[in-house]
Structure formats: C-alpha cells, structure tokens
Structure 1
Amino acid sequence: MQSKFLDLNGHQFFVRSWGDPSLPPLLMLHGFPEYGGAWGDLAPHLSQRFHCVAPDQRGYGQSWAPEGVQNYVTSALVGDMVALIEQFGDPVTVIGHDWGAAVAYGLAMFKPALVDRLIIANGVHPVPFQREMAAGGAQSEASQYINMLRSPEAAEVMSANDFAGLETFFRRHLGQDWLDEATLAKYKAEWARPGRLNAMLNWYRASPLRVAAPGQPITDLAPLPLDRLQVRCPHLLIWGPDDKALLPQSTEGLEEFADELTRVTIPETDHWLIHQNPQAVAQAILDWIPQTGTPS
C-alpha cells in the first residue's frame, strides 16, 4: 500500500493505493464510520488487475474536513471525486460501500463520461431507498438510527468513553463482531482527529432523504427527477444478505434505473461483507469485469 496527499479543488485529500499505477484504475469509496484504509482487506485481492485508489473522503481521516452541514451535500462530495478521477485522465471503474455508494451512484448518474463501470457493495440507489424509508415499514424501522446520528449531540454521545457508543454501533447495530483490537485502535485514531466525527455525521445531516416513523408513512415526498437518476454503464450490486441496516427491499426496482444490472449475493455476510469475505467479493468483481488484453 502506498499513500500520499492530493490537491482536489484546492483542498488536501489523503489517498491510499494498491497495485501498479499503469493498471486500470479502480476508485474505492468508503462509508460511515470508516476511512480509506477500510479497503485494505479487499484491495490486495484486486491489485493484480487494478490500480486500487482509496481516498479518505471529505470529512474523514486525514482529508479536508470543513465545518458546516452545507459542505456535505451530495454535489460537493461528488465534486471531490470528479477532481480525483480527472487526474487519471480516463474513465474509471468505481466501487462504493455504504455512504460511499451514494457518491458512486452520484458519479455514475451525473458524470457518466467519467465512469466505465459501477460496483456497489451493500449500498442503495436513492429512489428505492427513499421509497422504503418513507413507507413506515421494516426499512423505516431499521433506519431510525439515522435520526439519532443527525442529532446535534450525536458526536458527543458517540465519542464519550473512548468512542464506546460508536464502537457499539459499528460492532452490533450494522454487523457481526469482526473487529479485532488492533483494527479498532486504527479506527479510533481516525475518529479522534479534531472535528472529524462531527464532519462524518454531517453526511447524514446534509442528506435530503427522509425517514418515516414506524407505521407512519410519509405521504408528501417531493418528486425526484427520475430521468436524471439513471445508471447507464454496466452495474454490479454485491449484497450481504444478513444486513440489518439496509434491507433487501431497498434494492427492489433497481433494474428500472440500471439497464445493465448484475446482482451477486455473498452468503453468510452482512453490511460489512468487504471485511467478512473479501475473497468472495473480489471474485465476484473479477468474474464480472471482462479480461482485457488477452489473445482472442
């Protein structure tokens, strides 16, 4: 693994990479509450085929973390990654997990010339996800934690007692207990950087998506520009079926927004499938992406 700081739109971002820079780039976008180093489990399995590039996204790790919720709207987050992709000079394959999926979808939908292929690992397209979160059913119930994370006191609550609240959220609310003490120490070091936890939470606060109370559907959702929310490149969705935060019904109807969709399920994994079975995730990617430069 190599690392360096890059200037993106006048701001410093910390970027890790694996593999030969001459290989096709694979942009790897992490979610909450992780950082670019989270891809260290998966990237070594892909670095013979790709130059794997994993930034700490805005507000995370060692990258720029401006104050203010307004700095974490999707267009700003996507703009950071547009600047990174443009440094490669060619379209890239993008993989996003959790919140990284929101940025990955944004790139594919709003900057299609920059994205050759889109891979999502336990992440959701905004239209099916908003539909289910607004319905007042199982996904609404599973998403109640979002309201907690949006609260003004969330950073203080989650960081108290050496990040006990955030550790519990990470270990239990979203997945199995796969964190060892050494890995957890690395995460705590990233969470403890000044201002970072509140910046990370601003991703939730800036999102326009609404969460219904269980049994109380939201009926006044603003219409979404469905024609602008299309994924026009080949799209792979890799799913850990035991996810307790993102339920499978939140991907129903995804085919309406992605004509070239392939679905792959990794048994006995949940939201943290990129850590629990990175070999299977990597194999799904390698099986899906055609080999290039091989004799016919």
Structure 2
Amino acid sequence: MHAQTHWIPTQDGQKLYAKTWGDQNKTAMVLVHGYPDNQEVWEPIIEQLVHDFYIITYDVRGAGQSSVPKRIRDYALARLSLDLECVVDALLPNRHFHLAAHDWGSIQSWESVTEPKFKDRIQSYTTISGPCLDHAAFWMRDQFTHEKRKFFKQLVKSWYIVAFQLPLLAPTVWHFFSPERWGKVLSQLEKTQGLPLNPSISADGQHGIGLYRANFIPRLIRPRQRFAICPVQALVLKRDNFVSPELIDEMPKWVNDFERVEVDANHWAVLSRPQEIAQYIKTFAQKKSV
C-alpha cells in the first residue's frame, strides 16, 4: 500500500502527522487509533478497506510523529475533538465521512460524535473498546447503587487508570518496553503470534498518559449528557481485558440509531482479527452512507 503524508497544524500550535490512503473520489473513512498505539496500528485494517474507501489516519497529539504537548490540559477531550476537526477540514473539506476508532481513539471520538457541529458531516461511527467517559460515569454511578458486582468488576479492569495518575511511576515504566517486549505482551493477550510491532512504543506510552490525566477525573466527577449525532455501531470484544462489555449497556440511552455486535476477541482485535473487524466497519458504513 502507498499513502500520501500530510502535516496538519492544530488551533493551539501542535502538528499532527496524517496519511491518506486510496482513491479520494471514494467514500471517506477516518480511523482514529488508541493508546499506546499510533496510526500504524490501522494498517492491517486499511488493507481490507482501501478498495472501498478513501481512508484518513493520523497520529493523535503525543503519539507517533505528531508533536507532544507540554501541558496535561492540552490533552483534554475538547482539544482532541478540535484536532479531528482540523484534520477533516484540511483533508476532507466540505465532505461527509465515516468514523471508526479503537480504545482511546474511540473515547476521544465520542466527543466529536456528540457535538452538534458534526451532525451534517459524520455519517456513521464504529466504536471499539472505548466508551464515552460521560456515559461510563453515569453507568458506574448506577452500578454502584444497584449492581455493585458489575461496578467492582470494571474497577478491577481499570487498575491502570489509577496507576497512570502517578506522576513519576507511570512514565518511567514505559522506558522498559522495547517494541519486542511490548509485542510479546500483545501476543499473549491476543493469543496470536507475529503481530505488527510499534517501533515508538516507549514514547507513545509515556506521552499518551496525558490523555488519562487530563480527562478521567473531570469526566467521572462531572459527567455531561452527551447524545450521538449519527448512527453508532459498537463492536463489543467479549474477552476484552480492559473494558467490560457491560459498559456498552449504557450506549443505547444516548444513541438513537444503535447497533451492537459481539466479537469473540480481546482488546487489540484490530491487530489480531483485522479482516473480521474491517468487515464490520465496512458493512455498517455502507449501510449508513447517504
């Protein structure tokens, strides 16, 4: 595959490294990666989608080749949504597009999917292992009151969120992860050998901690009512070690056009099951295209 590369300036002076894939005359699809990944995590998926879509990917701020903000508050959800807006305004001016995202890419994309200004642009959204933090906060409150077992089950899975709030320990840990060592972790989680390696895993892991520090506590303390402005498909990974499938139960309350698909896979299904995940993304997008 061959991609064209682009540098996108943001409204606060950062630079985002983006790529476009395929025929620009085809239906547009934007893919947003999670943590601690960069846009290269999508390449197995892109191979499956590029014949049907014009694809845009980018390294989110702090990841891959994009610039690294100096302040934690520069990773706030509102700022990340503005980044997406800058990317699509530069590469898809005045065009509709479909959106799919994984992990933190999914969490941050919910901010855009619930913004009225995107109502006439985002045609569909496929979310993978990344709930809206506001929705998750409402779910956690409800479970604590009525279903404490589910509440504590998700709390155990979310141990890393607490660890990432520690000022020195969390960034330091990532210095011990080489691409090969992280690759072994992924292979064990996914029970799949030969997964693509991330050459910048140490830096991506260290810098991306700002995503957690800037957003989790404010959203969990003061959740907002956020309603989706487009059809949403949730790919529920049944063996996800980090996100409980039960969190998806909250989504239909906030989405008018909602579909749920259960996949017998772990958290990084975008790497271990690319053909299957790509097919779900493709089918939903084509069904919702204007």
> Could you say which TM-score interval applies, normalised by the shorter chain?
0.7 to 0.9
Structure 1 residue 209, shift from structure 2 partner: 3.7
1:158 to 149, 156, 174: 174
Kindly indicate whether the alpha-carbon contact (under 8 Å) linking 1:28 and 1:94 is maintained by their aligned counterparts in 2: yes
Kindly indicate whether the alpha-carbon contact (under 8 Å) linking 2:22 and 2:53 is maintained by their aligned counterparts in 1: yes
| Residues 292 and 244 (structure 1), Cα distance of their counterparts in 2 relative to 1, 3 Å cut | closer
Q: Does 1:99 align with 2:104?
A: yes
Partner amino acid, structure 2, of 1:190: S
2:59 aligns to what? 56
Q: Does 1:118 align with 2:125?
A: yes
Q: In structure 2, how many angstroms separate the alpha carbons of the residues matched to 1:205 and 1:164?
A: 27
Structure 1 stretches lacking a partner, 5+ long: 212-220
Query: What does the per-residue CA deviation read over 1:21-65, in whole Å, with 9 as the maximum and x for residues that have no partner?
Result: 221211100001100000001111111111111101100010011
Which stretch of structure 1 is more off in the superposition, 46-55 or 148-157? 148-157
Partner amino acid, structure 1, of 2:274: P
Q: Does 1:5 align with 2:22?
A: no
Q: In structure 2, how many angstroms separate the alpha carbons of the residues matched to 1:100 and 1:152?
A: 23
Q: Does 1:237 align with 2:234?
A: yes
Q: In structure 1, how many angstroms separate the alpha carbons of the residues matched to 2:14 and 2:159?
A: 34
RMSD after superposition: 2.6
Kindly indicate whether the alpha-carbon contact (under 8 Å) linking 2:178 and 2:201 is maintained by their aligned counterparts in 1: no
Query: What does the per-residue CA deviation read over 1:224-261, in whole Å, with 9 as the maximum and x for residues that have no partner?
Result: 331xx100211111121100110011111211100100
Partner amino acid, structure 2, of 1:239: V
> Within 5 Å, which residues of 2 pair with 1:1-296?
1-9=2-10, 10-87=13-90, 88-89=92-93, 90-110=95-115, 111-113=117-119, 114-133=121-140, 135=144, 136-153=151-168, 154-160=170-176, 162=178, 170=186, 175-178=189-192, 180=194, 183-184=196-197, 187=198, 189-193=199-203, 196-209=204-217, 222-226=221-225, 229-267=226-264, 269-290=265-286
Partner amino acid, structure 1, of 2:245: P
| Residues 42 and 3 (structure 1), Cα distance of their counterparts in 2 relative to 1, 3 Å cut | same
Q: In structure 2, how many angstroms separate the alpha carbons of the residues matched to 1:148 and 1:165?
A: 20
TM-score norm. by structure 1 comes to 0.83
Structure 1 residue 91, shift from structure 2 partner: 2.4
- Secondary structure of 1:48's match? coil
| Residues 289 and 250 (structure 1), Cα distance of their counterparts in 2 relative to 1, 3 Å cut | same
Question: Whose helix proportion is higher, 1 or 2?
Answer: 2
Kindly indicate whether the alpha-carbon contact (under 8 Å) linking 1:158 and 1:165 is maintained by their aligned counterparts in 2: no
Q: In structure 1, how many angstroms separate the alpha carbons of the residues matched to 2:48 and 2:104?
A: 22
Structure 1 residue 144, shift from structure 2 partner: 1.1
Kindly indicate whether the alpha-carbon contact (under 8 Å) linking 1:159 and 1:166 is maintained by their aligned counterparts in 2: no
1:214 aligns to what? none
TM-score norm. by structure 2 comes to 0.85
Q: In structure 2, how many angstroms separate the alpha carbons of the residues matched to 1:149 and 1:179?
A: 28
Structure 2 stretches lacking a partner, 5+ long: 145-150
Structure 1 residue 165, shift from structure 2 partner: 8.0
Q: In structure 1, how many angstroms separate the alpha carbons of the residues matched to 2:270 and 2:181?
A: 23
Partner amino acid, structure 2, of 1:97: H
Kindly indicate whether the alpha-carbon contact (under 8 Å) linking 1:230 and 1:257 is maintained by their aligned counterparts in 2: yes
Q: In structure 1, how many angstroms separate the alpha carbons of the residues matched to 2:178 and 2:140?
A: 32
Structure 1 residue 170, shift from structure 2 partner: 4.7
2:148 aligns to what? none
Kindly indicate whether the alpha-carbon contact (under 8 Å) linking 1:158 and 1:164 is maintained by their aligned counterparts in 2: no
Q: In structure 2, how many angstroms separate the alpha carbons of the residues matched to 1:150 and 1:223?
A: 18
Structure 1 residue 66, shift from structure 2 partner: 1.5
Structure 1 residue 155, shift from structure 2 partner: 1.3
Q: In structure 2, how many angstroms separate the alpha carbons of the residues matched to 1:4 and 1:161?
A: 28
Kindly indicate whether the alpha-carbon contact (under 8 Å) linking 1:58 and 1:64 is maintained by their aligned counterparts in 2: yes
Q: In structure 1, how many angstroms separate the alpha carbons of the residues matched to 2:86 and 2:25?
A: 19
Kindly indicate whether the alpha-carbon contact (under 8 Å) linking 2:237 and 2:245 is maintained by their aligned counterparts in 1: no
Query: What does the per-residue CA deviation read over 1:130-155, in whole Å, with 9 as the maximum and x for residues that have no partner?
Result: 24556351001110111112211211
Q: In structure 2, how many angstroms separate the alpha carbons of the residues matched to 1:292 and 1:262?
A: 12
